[in-house]
Structures are given as C-alpha cells and as structure tokens.
Amino acid sequence: MPLITLTSDIGQKDYLVGAIKGQLLQAVPGCTLVDISHELTPFNYPRAAYLCRNAIKNFPDFTFHVVLVNLFENKQEHLLLAYHNRQYILCADNGLLTMIVEDKPELVIGLPMAKFVIRDALHMIRVFGKSIQSLVEGQSIHTIGVADIEIVEKNPLRPLLGENWIEGQIIFIDHFENVVINITREAFEEQRRGRGFTIAFKRGEVIEKICETYADVPEGEKLALFNAAGYLEIAINKGNAAGLLGLQGYSEKQSAHLQNRLFYQTIRIFFE
C-alpha cells in the first residue's frame, strides 16, 4: 500500500488537516498517512525546505510526500509532481521544490487544476490524490500531467563565505529551543581547512569547539554540535539556548507588514 507523508503550514486549530486526510483516504484507498509537521511558519521557505528535505530522505523509496506550504502565493494554474532520488514530492509551484532538493528535480510534471471550481486546499489535495492513485495503479508518470514545464525556482539559503570566516542564518529553533544554523558539517570543514575557530554571538558569547553530544559539557553550559541532519546546532545542556543567548529565527520576528520580507539572525564563525 502507498505511503504518503503530509507537511503543511495549516496548523491544528481547525478541521482542515482532518479533511485533507479524509480526501486522501478516499482518493487512495488503503494508503498509510504519516504526519511530518503542520506547524511550519508561513512564508518561511528556508525553514520549510530544511524540515522537508531532512524528513524525506529517511523514508522508503517511492514514498509520496505532499507538501502544503504557502499554497496561495501565486495564482495556481497547475500543481507539481516531482520525482527525485527515488521519492515523489507533490507541492505548489511556488519555488519551494527547488529549495527542498537543493537543485533542479530529476523529473517534474505539471498537474492541471480544473477550471471553474474553487481552487482551495481541498481541491488541490484531490488533484494530488488522483495523481497518486494513478501512479499506484501503474500509470506512467508522463501521462498524468504536463511534462517538462517551466517551474518557479527559489535558491536555497546558503551561508556567506569569507577568507577567514563563514556566516550562517538561523533557520530553525526546535522544541527544546536549540538553534539550527544553515551550515553543514561539510561546508564548515571545507571553509575551516584544519584551522581553529570561534563561533561568535551578539552578546559577546563564544564557542571554540564542536561537541558530539549535549552531555559533553556541564549542565547549563553552551555548546555547538552537528545534529542528526548534519547541520550546525547551538544548544545549552538542559537549557534554553535561544532565550539565554538572545537568538531568534524569522518566526519570532515576523509581523503582518513584514510577511514578504524575510529577516534571519546570523551567526559568524571566525577561523585562525
């Protein structure tokens, strides 16, 4: 039976997530539904891409990943079905797809939406569900939509580089208020080139080593490590790194008049 994941910025306060699941269960009988998250911050593409990318790569081959994020940024004439690294991703044509895969997907199909209907989230999920069921029944991906369409592309949020420094942005603050920076272990080591380093914060705090676990420092002490997804994480052992170090992500700063202007607090690492 097909495995379908759900990721959205809808939240859990009304009926919509339940209705979406109901529509999928009707369209794809016997499917297994797995929630990744429904609490993504609206308009925050880097955070959505980080969560989706690092969840998707842990699922079995040929899982269907339905991503309902910022569905109405553009007037949608079609939706997207992508096949990449043996996974299917279904989402709106708003640029998030290229941020998730950090490249152009191997294959993208446009899924036309019906005319003269209300193109709300439930209509979109019916389009996704019908496409998934067609693939489950053995129909070729090339025959269920429009192949080789032009899609909206957004570039992944990359760290800035200097000869003796690298600067990343806070892209996620987790449930424990650990702070995730968009610097991977590979990017860090490539820029470091074996040199010593200092991670600097706006309050004059510094970190000068990378730990393997939170328990590598005493309770209440700050630390840096690379998390399970391979990204730099700033934490305090049994403490609140975001609050105690004065670190914030976009979700804490957004307001109605800033919805289309993204501001990310940065962390700079100096090498010597």
The pTM is what? 0.88
Please give the CATH architecture assigned to the domain spanning 160-271.
Beta Barrel (2.40)
- Closest Cα to residue 6, out of 164, 180, 154, 124? 124
pLDDT of residue 84: 97
pLDDT at residue 262 in the model: 46
Separation between Cα atoms, residue 176 and residue 240, nearest integer Å: 7
Encode the chain (272 residues) as per-residue pLDDT tens digits. 899 999 999 999 999 999 999 999 999 999 999 999 999 988 889 999 999 999 999 999 999 999 999 988 877 789 999 999 999 999 999 999 999 999 899 999 999 987 756 678 999 999 999 999 999 999 999 999 999 899 999 998 899 999 999 999 999 999 899 999 999 999 999 999 999 999 987 777 899 999 999 999 999 999 999 999 999 999 999 998 888 777 876 544 444 444 444 455 889 999 99
What number does CATH give the domain 3-147?
A: 3.40.50.10790
Token pair recorded at residue 52: 């989706």
Q: How many CB atoms lie within 10 A of CB 143?
A: 9
Q: For residue 157, what pLDDT is reported?
A: 86
**Side-chain half-sphere of 62: how many Cα atoms within 13 Å?**
8
Closest CA relative to residue 133, chosen from 57, 66, 60, 56:
66
The gap between the terminal CA atoms of the chain, to the nearest Å, is 54
Topology alike, domains 3-147 and 160-271:
no
| pLDDT (0 to 100) of residue 254 | 46
CB atoms within 10 A of CB 55: 16
- Per-position b or e across 13-51, b if 16+ CB within 10 A of its CB: eeebbeebbebbeebbeebeeeebebebbebbbbbbbbb
Q: Where along the chain do its domains lie?
A: 3-147, 160-271
